[in-house]
Amino acid sequence: MPSSHPALGRMVAAAATAVAVSAAAVIYLTHPASDRVPGISTHAEIGGPFRLTAPDGAVVDSQDLKGKPYAVFFGFTHCPDVCPTTLSQVSRTLHELGPEAKDLRVYFITVDPERDRPDVLRDYLSNFDSRIVGLWGTPDQIAVVAKEFKAFYEKVPTSDGGYTMNHTAILYLMDRNGEYSAPVGYAEDEASYLAKFRALLEGS
Amino acid sequence: MRFLRLTLLVSFFLLGPIGAYAHEFKVGDIEITHPWARATPPGATVGGGYLTITNHGSQPDRLTAVSTPIAGMTQLHRMTMEGDIAKMEELPDGIEIPPGASVELKPQSLHIMFMALKKPFKEKESFEAELTFEKAGKVTVEFEIEPMDADGSMDMNME
């Protein structure tokens, strides 16, 4: 931005934001309503096969998860609010469940693979419960997986030339057959997390 | 004397936590209450800052900038939930504080976005930041760092 025209710079930034927000609104509004409310969409519509990379280099293939329930969250590390709070809640829930959930894995799939390289994901997740595993893929791989889960994400430019992101803030609970079981929403409390995780573990 | 000492000791324990959390700062007609930030995960380069601003004057004022040595860059953002989608928006013109009103910066809402953090925010630590208001000018406040999933309510902190 030319520093001699701060007002112009602000207008350009505001216009860019407006364009991004409008585009998001169009995508959001043209999405069938059932996609936005996983609770009432057909369960079979959400989820699908994925092969992504964990920070230790291991490939996590959803085919290998058969027989074990798991959870999926789409986030990014430059996220000041939703991601750390959700990860804290998940950590507390897993801690509370203890050995009952010893095989449960919660996958934190980055929607910002350019900045969230595997080593960044490893550091970021190191203080949370070890059952939370970061997953990385190429931008194309991430786009495919997000589409399978009907998860939305997009970059939002900021005035410094960088960006932040809009993204779906749902924790998707997947049952032991790899089928979508239930969502946990951002605003849900500890008791709700615990009840839904228990139901997932006890489910068929 | 012994009684006085005991009273002081008891007061310290009773009032200590209130003093620590309900801290206030003033500049001109602007009063700032309880600046706090959430602890950040290791390696995180961003963190949210929250506080309440009250304008006791008769003119609107505007929070235009925040700066602190612990962050390479700071912006003012608004987070909103649209259905299940968390949305972020930068507020390049700052945040207006109408006369006689209080504006709360809090999770899932208006917040200070500390970026390019030089080190993670650690719970129970604190840091200073300078707020710039269009009319009232600059004021340095201290942000207390609370747990990663704190919601900023004082009740929770006093537990």
Q: Is A166 within the bounds of a domain? A: yes
Give, in degrees to the nearest 5, the angle at Cα A100 between A98 and A103.
Answer: 95
Whole-model pTM: value is: 0.80
What domain range includes position A107? 31-202
Amino acid code (one letter) for B98: P
How many structural domains are present in chain A?
1
In this complex, do B75 and A160 lie within 8 Å of one another by their Cβ atoms?
yes
Give the separation between CA B117 and CA A160, rounded to whole angstroms. Answer: 15
Question: CA of A203, closest CA in chain B: separation in Å?
Answer: 25
> CA torsion, points A185, A188, A191, A192, in degrees to nearest 10?
-40
Q: Is A142 within the bounds of a domain? A: yes
The pLDDT of residue B150 is 85
Per-residue pLDDT band at B133 (split at 50, 70, 90): very high
Dig out the tokens for B13 from the structure.
């324990």
Nearest-by-CA chain B residue for A119: B43
In this complex, do A10 and B77 lie within 8 Å of one another by their Cβ atoms?
no
In this complex, do A88 and B147 lie within 8 Å of one another by their Cβ atoms?
yes
Per-residue pLDDT band at B10 (split at 50, 70, 90): very low
The pLDDT of residue B151 is 78
In this complex, do A77 and B41 lie within 8 Å of one another by their Cβ atoms?
yes
pLDDT (average), residues B92-106: 97
Give the separation between CA B149 and CA B159, rounded to whole angstroms. Answer: 15
What domain range includes position B22? 2-158
Q: Please, which residues bridge with residue B133 across strands?
A: B63, B137
Nearest-by-CA chain B residue for A78: B46
Domain at B81, CATH number: 2.60.40.1890
Per-residue pLDDT band at B45 (split at 50, 70, 90): very high
- Count of C-beta atoms within a 10 Å radius of residue A54: 17
How many structural domains are present in chain B?
1
The pLDDT of residue B155 is 40
Dig out the tokens for B92 from the structure.
């390049």
Mean pLDDT by runs of 10 across the 204 residues of chain A is 52 58 46 44 78 96 94 96 94 96 96 97 96 98 97 96 96 95 92 96 80
Q: Is A136 within the bounds of a domain? A: yes
Q: Which of A81, A152, A156 sits opposite B48 (nearest CB)?
A: A81
The pLDDT of residue A172 is 97
Domain at A61, CATH number: 3.40.30.10
Q: Which of B38, B73, B81 sits opposite A160 (nearest CB)?
A: B73
In this complex, do B81 and A38 lie within 8 Å of one another by their Cβ atoms?
no
Number of C-alpha atoms within 13 angstroms, CB side, residue A91? 16
> CA torsion, points A68, A73, A76, A82, in degrees to nearest 10?
-140
In this complex, do A81 and B86 lie within 8 Å of one another by their Cβ atoms?
yes
The pLDDT of residue A22 is 52
Q: Which of A16-30, B39-53, B112-126 has the lowest mean pLDDT?
A: A16-30
3 state DSSP class of A147: helix
In this complex, do A24 and B87 lie within 8 Å of one another by their Cβ atoms?
yes
As a whole number, the mean pLDDT across chain B is 87
Question: Could you tell me if the ipTM is greater than 0.85?
Answer: no
In this complex, do B89 and A17 lie within 8 Å of one another by their Cβ atoms?
yes
CB pairs under 8 A between A and B: 120
Q: Which of B41, B90, B147 sits opposite A159 (nearest CB)?
A: B90
pLDDT (average), residues B16-43: 83
Nearest-by-CA chain B residue for A8: B92
Q: Is A143 within the bounds of a domain? A: yes
Q: Which of B41, B77, B79 sits opposite A84 (nearest CB)?
A: B41
Query: Which are the contacts of B21, defined by CB distance < 8 A and separation ≥ 6?
Result: B34, B36, B144, B154, B157, B158
